[in-house]
Amino acid sequence: MPGLAVASPSGKGAALSAAAPPDDLDVDVCILGAGILGLCTALVLLREDKHLKVALLDREVPCSGATGAGQGYLWLAHRDVGTPAYKLAVRSRQMWAELLAPTVPELSTQAVEWQASGSMLLATSEAEGAALRQRRDRLAAAGVEGAQVLSAAEVHQLEPSLATGAVHSGLLVPSDSQVSGKATAAALLRACEAHGPRFTALFHEAASQLVTGPTGRVEGVVTEARWVRAAHGVVVTLGAWSGIFLAQQLSDARWEGAFKPRRGLLLEMPRPDGMPAVRHGLMEMGYTAHYAHSSSSGQPTADGGLDITFTTTTSAASTLLVGSSREFCGFGREGEDAVVDAIMQRAAHFVPGLAAVQRQDISVRSGPRPWAAAGTPWVGPVPGMEGLFLSAGHEGSGLTLAPASAALLLQYLLGEPAHLEGDVVDHLAVPSTMAPILAE
């Protein structure tokens, strides 16, 4: 690797001490991390430019992070109309529809287990009911069709598994849908592979070192097995690991505080005998507080310990998916049994039939939601590091927001318009979100 150096924020680089890995690979874009953001970015790039070569690298396999745990709600109902996250979700929704066009067998609605089940937000008090009505009005004004507020009796008629008395009213948004995170990741990978030799998947290979050229530009990445040269750039989609990686690579500890793992558990179980089926995606209204904490961005702040809010839906395989928890406890899996109990207790308050589920029948999905200190996902060029791009920090919305985030990277990498308003682009840009954190 003559003339190459380990990346440094000054752009000058340090001597690359490791011996050159045995294998070289030349691509146009190298994406680090094969969660939903990395997979979606790879596919959007491959589709947009028919000559582009893309490598997707993961130290494990797709779905090793948050993506495999995701409930898969592609919703607008719980977002705050007009915020950048809402606009990103609207654009993503259009793009999901385009990506799931029936002409692409690898990525059909069936392959991603897409369900047009609609969403139902559940208010538990008069105050929450008033908030639901306001939400309905704002969604309707923003053009979301069919959003309607239901009385407790109407909710119960549509969802007889819910306890009478637990719900004050509901907001039904029929156009909201859901997918399976795992199935979507698998389908995206197959769709990437369908592009033949232009796509290279490198799994069980950790990105260990960014490499800069003589001008300080990031020119690729070194793994244990090879040196991947990336002519257009390297994209970091490492989810909750993004901050640790950038802190190490750029020798700047402030990046570590920029992203944190916010552990989330989702429980899968058979529906108990006699319990009515759950027909919509359900979510208690309290969940929206995760978005309200940060006024304009749509992402929560880092305060608080274990937080449980009730969600449930029926999977394509007819099992129940019951959630969910949020806690800042690192990347480990300690203490999950107590969290499972807390989720089930909250869920049984809304759906009494769930009290009959035996612990041994519950399978636990756990994943680190990539929480961002800036209160918003970060999508754009990394400041001071030409050739390095970032798309991370999507917290509880990565499955929803992945396509529009990928389109935005496309805009930066290839100059193709992302069809996002300028304020959204600016809001998500890494230089603007990083500025206050770097100033600390």
Ligand X SMILES: Cc1cc2nc3c(=O)[nH]c(=O)nc-3n(C[C@H](O)[C@H](O)[C@H](O)COP(=O)(O)OP(=O)(O)OC[C@H]3O[C@@H](n4cnc5c(N)ncnc54)[C@H](O)[C@@H]3O)c2cc1C
CB of 182 to ligand X, least distance (A): 10
Q: Residue 406: which of 58, 39, 23, 115 has the closest Cα?
A: 39
CB of 206 to ligand X, least distance (A): 4
Determine the Cα–Cα distance for residues 347 and 279; give it in Å rounded to an integer.
Answer: 16
Among 23, 24, 26, 60, the residue binding ligand X under the rule CB under 6 A is: 60
Task: List % helix, strand, coil for the chain (3-state, nearest 5).
Answer: 35, 25, 40
Task: Tell me: does residue 323 bind ligand X (CB under 6 A).
Answer: yes
Determine the Cα–Cα distance for residues 146 and 154; give it in Å rounded to an integer.
Answer: 15
10 Å CB burial of residue 164 (0-12, 13-18, 19+) is exposed
Task: Tell me: does residue 76 bind ligand X (CB under 6 A).
Answer: no
CB of 427 to ligand X, least distance (A): 18
Task: Tell me: does residue 260 bind ligand X (CB under 6 A).
Answer: no
Residue 374 Cα distances to 48, 66, 215, 388, 400, angstroms: 30, 19, 30, 19, 19
Q: Residue 367: which of 255, 267, 247 has the closest Cα?
A: 267
CB of 82 to ligand X, least distance (A): 19
Determine the Cα–Cα distance for residues 350 and 322; give it in Å rounded to an integer.
Answer: 11
CB of 403 to ligand X, least distance (A): 11
Determine the Cα–Cα distance for residues 204 and 115; give it in Å rounded to an integer.
Answer: 32
Among 35, 84, 298, 353, the residue binding ligand X under the rule CB under 6 A is: 35
Task: Tell me: does residue 339 bind ligand X (CB under 6 A).
Answer: no
CB of 52 to ligand X, least distance (A): 20
E strand or H helix at 29: strand 23-32
Task: Tell me: does residue 367 bind ligand X (CB under 6 A).
Answer: yes
Residue 288's CB is within 10 A of a number of other CB atoms, namely 19
Q: Which stretch binds ligand X (CB under 6 A): 27-35, 139-147, 190-198, 351-359?
A: 27-35
Joined together, the tokens standing for residue 12 give 């000058």
* Residue placing its CB nearer to ligand X in the complex, 152 or 191: 191
Task: Tell me: does residue 114 bind ligand X (CB under 6 A).
Answer: no
Task: Tell me: does residue 113 bind ligand X (CB under 6 A).
Answer: no
Position of tokens 């001008």? Answer: 215
Residue 392 Cα distances to 63, 118, 319, angstroms: 15, 27, 30
Among 7, 27, 70, 280, the residue binding ligand X under the rule CB under 6 A is: 70
Nearest residue to ligand X, scored by beta-carbon proximity? 65
Among 33, 170, 243, 353, the residue binding ligand X under the rule CB under 6 A is: 33
Q: Which stretch binds ligand X (CB under 6 A): 56-64, 156-164, 334-342, 355-363?
A: 56-64
Task: Tell me: does residue 287 bind ligand X (CB under 6 A).
Answer: no
Q: How many helices (H) and strands (E) does the chain have?
A: 12, 20
Q: Contact letters (x/-) for ligand X, 224-253, by CB under 6 A?
A: -------------xxxxx---x--------
Our CA angle for 279, 106, 56, nearest 5°, is 110
- Residues touching ligand X, count (CB under 6 A): 45
* Residue placing its CB nearer to ligand X in the complex, 34 or 269: 34
Among 31, 66, 149, 282, the residue binding ligand X under the rule CB under 6 A is: 66
Among 25, 29, 43, 72, the residue binding ligand X under the rule CB under 6 A is: 72
Answer whether 385's CB lies under 8 Å from 218's CB. Answer: yes
Hey, is 230 helix, strand or coil? strand
Hey, is 10 helix, strand or coil? coil
CB of 214 to ligand X, least distance (A): 25
CB of 121 to ligand X, least distance (A): 13
Q: Contact letters (x/-) for ligand X, 369-398, by CB under 6 A?
A: xx---------------------x-xxxxx
Task: Tell me: does residue 13 bind ligand X (CB under 6 A).
Answer: no
Answer whether 54's CB lies under 8 Å from 64's CB. Answer: no
Answer whether 306's CB lies under 8 Å from 238's CB. Answer: no
Chain residues in the site for ligand X (CB under 6 A): 32-38, 57-60, 64-67, 69-73, 181, 206-207, 237-241, 245, 264-266, 323-324, 367, 369-370, 392, 394-400
